[in-house]
Chain A
C-alpha cells in the first residue's frame, strides 16, 4: 500500500470553479508535506509547502494541514485552463530525508 494516498484520481471543474484535492499519509513518520504540479510532458514543480497545522494561502491556491490525521488538502479557486495538470502530494519521512509521492490527481479545467 502506498504511504501517501490522494483523492480523487481525476477531477473536472469548469473554468472559474473551485477544485479541491485531498492527500493522506498512512505513515505517522511524516514530517512535512508539499504539493507539486506537473503539466503533461514536463517535470514536477513544487507548488506549495505546508509544515504546520492550519491554512496557507498563495494567490488562488490554499492548502490546509491537519497533522493529527496526517491529512492535507489543496484548493484552487477561480480555476483556469492552465491549471489542468497532474497534482502530486509529497511527504518527507522523519529520519532520512526520504520523500514519497502519492499517485496524483489529474485535474482538467474545462473552458
Chain B
C-alpha cells in the first residue's frame, strides 16, 4: 500500500524546546519534501531531498534543518522552536523527475506555546 506516514500527528511544545518531526514512505521514492501550511498561505516549501544526504533548501528554510540517512525516512528538526513555527507540517514524496506529483502524508499539527 503506497503511503507516506508522519509521526506524531499532533505535538505541543514550549518555545525554546527542540522538535523532531518524522516522515516515512514505503515506495522507495527518491524525492521527499517538507512543507508547512498556514491559513491563506497555501503550502510553503521548507526543504527538498533528492536522495540520502542530498538535501536542498526550499523557499522558507530559516529555523529548520533536515536529515535523510535512509531513502525511506526524512526528518524535520526545529532547534529551539519559536511560536511562529506553529503550523501544520506536511511531508510528501515522489519518484523524482519534474512530472511526478508529490504524494502527501496526513500532516503533523504543531503548536509552540
Contact = CB atoms under 8 A, between A and B. Distances in A.
A104 B56 CA distance: 25
Interface residues of A, number: 27
B32 to A, nearest CB: 10
Given A88-B42, A102-B42, A34 B101 contact: yes
Given A31-B99, A104-B42, A97 B50 contact: yes
B35 A101 contact: yes
Contacts, number: 63
Contacts of A31: 98-99
Q: Could you say which interface size class chain B belongs to?
A: 20 to 34
A98 B48 contact: yes
B42 A51 contact: no
Contacts of B58: 98
B1 interface: no
B105 interface: yes
A32 B98 CA distance: 7
Contact of A49 (B101, B103, B105): B101
Interface string B47-80: 0101000001011000000000000000000000
A96 B45 contact: no
Interface of B: 31, 33, 35, 40-45, 48, 50, 56, 58-59, 90, 94, 96-107
